[in-house]
Structure 1
Amino acid sequence: MNELDELRALHAQTPPPDAETRHRARVRLFAAMNEPAASVRPVRRRPLLRVAVAGAVAAAVAGTVVVAVGDGDDGAARARSHAPSMRNVSARAVLNGAAAYEREHERTVAPRDDQYIYTKEIIKETEKRTGQVKRHVDENWRSVDGSRRSWVMEIGKGWWSEPLKENESSWPPQDWGTLEKLPTDPEKLILSLLHKSGPNDANDSLDQITDQEWSDVHFSLAGLLKLVPVMPKGLRPAAYEALGMVPGVKAVPGQKDAKGRTGVAITYDDPTLPEGQSGYGAYFIFAPGTYEFLGFRDARSSGDGDKMKTYDQLSYLESWGITDKVKQRP
């Protein structure tokens, strides 16, 4: 039974579905329409030099994964009674579904330059050797235009971040003005991240991107999505779709987030890294069925030699808002 048959059965045998159920059906249909054929492989140019880029994510390559449809309301339960409980989902279908979900639910923000963007992030860390679990609460206040000191926290420790000096830049950008200039078209966003003349160059083409450039693009997209929790309208969906275009992204089923929910994760196999070496180990975890973003899975280490400790890290954005002052809560 295909997706259209399931929709017809749902319409014929159940009361009209609510908004959430309709959204899930649209996402599943969208995913099926965008599922790449098994015989299709992305064209990848091999660079002459294979230089490892710090900050890239490494994992094994996989085509599709089987994802269980999550629990929901009564309407969703009725829909599941006429549909299989498992779905073959590609990484690109997950990220396109996440983009669709984000466009439907994103909140429009128009902060003033003299204001601050407040975020509250919850981080759960498990020390691998002992199993000890610690919970951190990171609260950040970032200057909207970047001209004022910001308060930044990382795993429970905070400090003042001074504004960038003249001719200084950083990635990902934190000031709203720079973020607003990034394209909200996924292909143009990819091209704008390359060290070229920009997305309007007639010679720019995704077909000409080398492995090293794809690695750089992935690093930029992963940093943008992980480190900038609040973006101008349309930018996050475009970043999700752009991430789905990167050769080497893969879907990993059965990944749990910080709240214990099971989802499907997106990670990256970087061909520029030596075999067995991993870099920026971020997993983006999404709810099966709706593709709502749930949070990140990462890893970190501290100390040296015998005193080195490694941690599994799960995190999610609990809340955010706009404030007029640093350390003022919305």
Structure 2
Amino acid sequence: MDDMQLLRQLGAEIPPATPELLSSARNRLLAATTPASPAPTKIRHSTRRSWRLVLSGVAAAGIAAAVTSVLVLAPDRFGGDAPAAKANATQVLRNAATAALQVPDVTPGPDQFIYRRIKDGPSTHESWLSVDGTRDGLVRETSAGNRTETPVPGCRNGRAAAVKGGQMVPGRTEPCTSEPAYRPDMPTDATAMGAYLAEHRSGEPGSVNAAGKDVLYLAESYLRPASRAALYEAAAAVPGLRAVENVTDGAGRSGIGIAWPSTNGGEEIVLVFDAETYAFLGASGYSAVLTLAVVDEIGQTD
């Protein structure tokens, strides 16, 4: 059974949202607060993006098994709102926020790993990143039948194992800054998330396209439901976005896109959501999030 079949099978067990539920969930989101404020640093795309790695991905739900794991889930279908293909960008993003709030809230343990499988063109990228950033992780890339693996040293007491030629160098360490795969202090309401995005922007102030890349970076990341909903609600407040019908993500899955225009003649970025479930799929012509899970060890995929 592939990921989408599993998603729909599990999603079928969740009853369709009613207008009252949608309104209630949205009101809970807008009323939520977060006291934590992350240290002011720009949202960094470089190192993680080069491996298609980010802090965490789509709205996730927990599945109890012999080992703890979390798979991407979303309600099977929404009711009460305009169909995504006919909705504007604000409506689509708000529906995506409501969808995020309906999945179970699962907190990763510090000794676990965030596993993600992303398709990027002809390549498939897999990663196992330490939840708290202290344990050694792994990145695997498969393309045209070839597979390469690169270790991601954990950062402990300001030092990490040195890597050369794709291998850890025994006995050698170098200075490091811990990069947890899960951030427990991410904002959980739209206002705070909007402030976070503005404070940690990676582009010039006022650049809608750059803001779209920052939202994509976080949307591909592991976020708990309230933080994911806050991300989409904050995005819904950005002016100038538009809904684009019949777009496909990097894996060819069809959905409705949210286009973030470029003001300098560059290519606009389009985030793709499932037109029925409002689950985040990826970026049009760019990437697709196929699997997102919390696992106990490197090599585990569910």
Interval of TM-score (by shorter of Structure 1 and Structure 2): 0.5 to 0.7
Return the letter of the residue paired with 2:184.
Answer: E
**Cα 1:89–1:174, aligned 2, differ >3 Å: closer, same or farther?**
farther
Aligned length: 220
Q: Deviations for 1:231-251, whole angstroms, at most 9, x for unmatched residues?
A: 234111111111222223221
Return the letter of the residue paired with 2:98.
Answer: A
The counterpart of 1:175, out of the listed 160, 181, 194, is 181
Residue 227 (structure 2) aligns with:
235
Residue 26 (structure 1) aligns with:
19
Deviation, structure 1 residue 116? 1.4
Please give the alpha-carbon distance, in whole angstroms, between the structure 2 residues aligned to 1:154 and 1:237: 30
The counterpart of 2:112, out of the listed 107, 112, 115, is 115
Deviation, structure 1 residue 190? 1.6
Please give the alpha-carbon distance, in whole angstroms, between the structure 2 residues aligned to 1:286 and 1:250: 13
Return the letter of the residue paired with 1:326.
Answer: I
Matched position secondary structure for 1:99: helix
Contact 1:120 1:318 in 2 (8 A): yes
The counterpart of 1:191, out of the listed 195, 201, 209, is 195
Residue 138 (structure 1) aligns with:
125
**Cα 1:254–1:290, aligned 2, differ >3 Å: closer, same or farther?**
same
Contact 1:254 1:263 in 2 (8 A): yes
Deviation, structure 1 residue 137? 3.6
Residue 294 (structure 2) aligns with:
321
Contact 2:22 2:98 in 1 (8 A): no
Please give the alpha-carbon distance, in whole angstroms, between the structure 1 residues aligned to 2:153 and 2:260: 33
Deviation, structure 1 residue 154? 4.6
Matched position secondary structure for 2:102: helix
Residue 149 (structure 2) aligns with:
158
**Cα 1:148–1:190, aligned 2, differ >3 Å: closer, same or farther?**
same
Deviation, structure 1 residue 21? 7.2
Contact 1:142 1:150 in 2 (8 A): yes
**Cα 1:174–1:248, aligned 2, differ >3 Å: closer, same or farther?**
farther
The counterpart of 2:214, out of the listed 217, 220, 225, is 220
Contact 1:27 1:100 in 2 (8 A): no
Residue 98 (structure 1) aligns with:
96
Residue 206 (structure 2) aligns with:
211
Matched, 1:283 2:270: yes
Please give the alpha-carbon distance, in whole angstroms, between the structure 2 residues aligned to 1:236 and 1:152: 24
Return the letter of the residue paired with 1:221.
Answer: V
Larger Rg: 1
Matched, 1:263 2:255: yes
The two structures have a TM-score, normalised by structure 2, of: 0.58
Matched, 1:254 2:246: yes
Deviation, structure 1 residue 259? 6.1
**Cα 1:191–1:258, aligned 2, differ >3 Å: closer, same or farther?**
closer
Q: Deviations for 1:63-94, whole angstroms, at most 9, x for unmatched residues?
A: xxxxxxxxxx9x99xx99xx998963111110
Matched position secondary structure for 1:234: helix
Query: Gaps spanning 5+ residues in structure 2: where?
Result: 1-11, 27-43, 47-75, 160-174
Contact 1:27 1:289 in 2 (8 A): no
Please give the alpha-carbon distance, in whole angstroms, between the structure 1 residues aligned to 2:176 and 2:254: 41
- The CA RMSD measured in Å over matched residues stands at 4.1
Matched position secondary structure for 2:86: strand
Contact 1:27 1:290 in 2 (8 A): no
Matched position secondary structure for 2:115: strand
Deviates more, 1:93-102 or 1:313-322: 313-322
